[in-house]
Amino acid sequence: MNARLQAGLLEATRLTRAGQLLEATAMIQRVLRGESTPPAADEPPRADAQTTLEGECRVVESEPAVLTGTVDAAPRASREPAQPDAQRAAASAQGLGARLREKIRQHWREFRKPTPGATPTSHSSPGVVPEGERFVTASYTNYVGTRSYKLYIPSGYHGQPLPLVVMLHGCTQNPDDFAAGTQMNALAEAQLCFVAYPAQTHAANSSKCWNWFKASDQQRDGGEPSLIAGLTRQIADNYSIDPQRIYVAGLSAGGAMAATMATTYPDLYAAAGVHSGLPHGAAQNLPAALAAMQGSQRMSHSRHSTGGSRTDAACAPTIVFHGDRDTTVHPCNGEQVTAQSMSSHAAPGATDAKDALRVIVESGKVPNGHAYTRSTHHDANGQPLVEHWLIHGAGHAWSGGSPRGSYTDPKGPDASREMLRFFYEHPQGAVSRRAS
């Protein structure tokens, strides 16, 4: 038993050093359950072995034990004093488990780490509200829980129906920080619309990330989507909001959740903006989320591959921004968000969304800033459905944002302005949505 445990721990150590975290996790779990020792590193793998091939991530268990607790190497039923070698093996297992957990945490922290071109600042709120306007705090509660939010009300609001944009912040951010970085309030004042900034809590996620990677938070009328949709409706009930012009956008984890909202609530949100995010249903647990962020887990975008939470309507038209030097969320995710939205709008019987949509590709450059490639996908009637902006030289940061907020890249293009332009072009019902 001790020899098998030690052999397993040695192999898990080798896998960890090689960066194969999921395999190391599975190895520890198998050995501690008393299962047979897996083949050594110099032995050929079995045909039925769970492994990682060509970048694909296979999740052995949705909640690996090493992520949430200390490794207990000794059977609980045993009351005999541990032998010295068993004690050493248990201590080695615990140490390995700790190192493995820290390695996974390091990868997860990359999701909220600034990249070249990004400007992290303190979460202060100077400049969030132009003088004379209102930026109020409220909250929404349902059976899932409670989320607070900030709501920007433009000075030009006098009871007339106005659009509403729901902005979902990234990891470690808050409403004030996100508002300062995107400068969406200033645009809302000029173009007359409400802007809501829901706040994720530490209790829900230690890094204040929206839980886009959990299956329970990918469903209509369940989890965090129900909270975001609920507070959206609460605002519409409390103020004069044009029901045809309600939109959702987000950055990073918030961008991934915006994609989920566009898929699960296309009847509520007329269009969506996804910045440096991932497609809906890209992962159902943390290890799969890490694989998706690194671009090693690709999705199939059939019309029924959206996590089991489809309505009978296509997802909302979507505008996508992604830097081609994003090392936190691989740029292929922007392509997959685009493909997912295109697929939902494909005509019944179409084998490839590209066959049903006409694409116009344009190149440009911001003066003294980034170059970009914009691909606009139109339906057969010429209606634009999806825009994909690939920003050359940009990392994981809000394009065209202000250094007053965190994770911004002032070199542009101006994602906030372009999102509002796209939103205003897509009121609810402007695009004919076909049933699945």
pLDDT digits (tens, 9 = 90+) for 384-394: 999 999 999 99
Q: Among all chains, which residue has been given the structure tokens 């299962």?
A: 35
Residue 44's pLDDT band, with cuts at 50, 70 and 90, is: very low
Q: Is the dihedral of CA 14, 17, 20, 23 positive or negative?
A: positive
pLDDT for the residue 11 = 75
User: Is pLDDT above 80 for 118?
Assistant: no
Q: Among all chains, which residue has been given the structure tokens 């132009």?
A: 130
Could you give the percent of the chain with pLDDT greater than 90? 57
Q: Provide the CB-side half-sphere exposure for 201 (13 A, CA).
A: 12
Most confident of 57-71, 220-234, 300-314: 220-234
User: Is pLDDT above 60 for 107?
Assistant: no
Other beta carbons less than 10 A from residue 269's beta carbon? 30
User: Is pLDDT above 60 for 430?
Assistant: yes
- Concatenated DSSP letters for 136-197? EEEEEE-SS-EEEEEEEE-TT-SSS-EEEEEEE--TT--HHHHHHHH-HHHHHHHHT-EEEE
Residues of the chain with CATH 3.40.50.1820: 134-424
pLDDT for the residue 75 = 34
Most confident of 5-9, 20-24, 345-349: 5-9
User: Is pLDDT above 80 for 268?
Assistant: yes
- The whole-model pTM stands at 0.71
pLDDT for the residue 352 = 53
Contacts of 31 (CB under 8 A, 6+ apart): 4, 5, 8, 9, 12, 37
Lowest mean pLDDT among 99-113, 151-165, 384-398: 99-113
| Among candidate residues 275, 220, 222, the one with its CA nearest the CA of residue 248 | 275
C-alpha 275/C-alpha 259 separation (Å) is 10
User: Is pLDDT above 80 for 382?
Assistant: yes
1, 35 in Cβ contact below 8 A?
A: no
Helix pair 21-32, 84-109: axis angle to 10 deg: 150
Q: What is the mean pLDDT of residues 79-88?
A: 50
28, 98 in Cβ contact below 8 A?
A: no
Other beta carbons less than 10 A from residue 57's beta carbon? 18
C-alpha 184/C-alpha 2 separation (Å) is 61
Taking only the tens place, the pLDDT of each residue in 317-330 is 999 999 999 999 99
Q: What is the mean pLDDT of residues 250-268?
A: 97
pLDDT for the residue 329 = 97
Structure token digits, residue 373: 């490639």
- 272, 342, 373, 402 from 421: Cα distances, Å: 12, 20, 17, 19
As to burial, measured by CB atoms within 10 angstroms (0-12 exposed, 13-18 middle, 19+ buried), residue 84 is exposed
pLDDT for the residue 340 = 92
More confident residue, 67 or 378: 378
Domain 134-424 part of CATH 3.20.20.60: no
C-alpha 205/C-alpha 51 separation (Å) is 29
Q: What is the mean pLDDT of residues 190-208?
A: 97
Residue 51's pLDDT band, with cuts at 50, 70 and 90, is: very low
- State the chain's mean pLDDT as an integer: 78
More confident residue, 126 or 63: 126
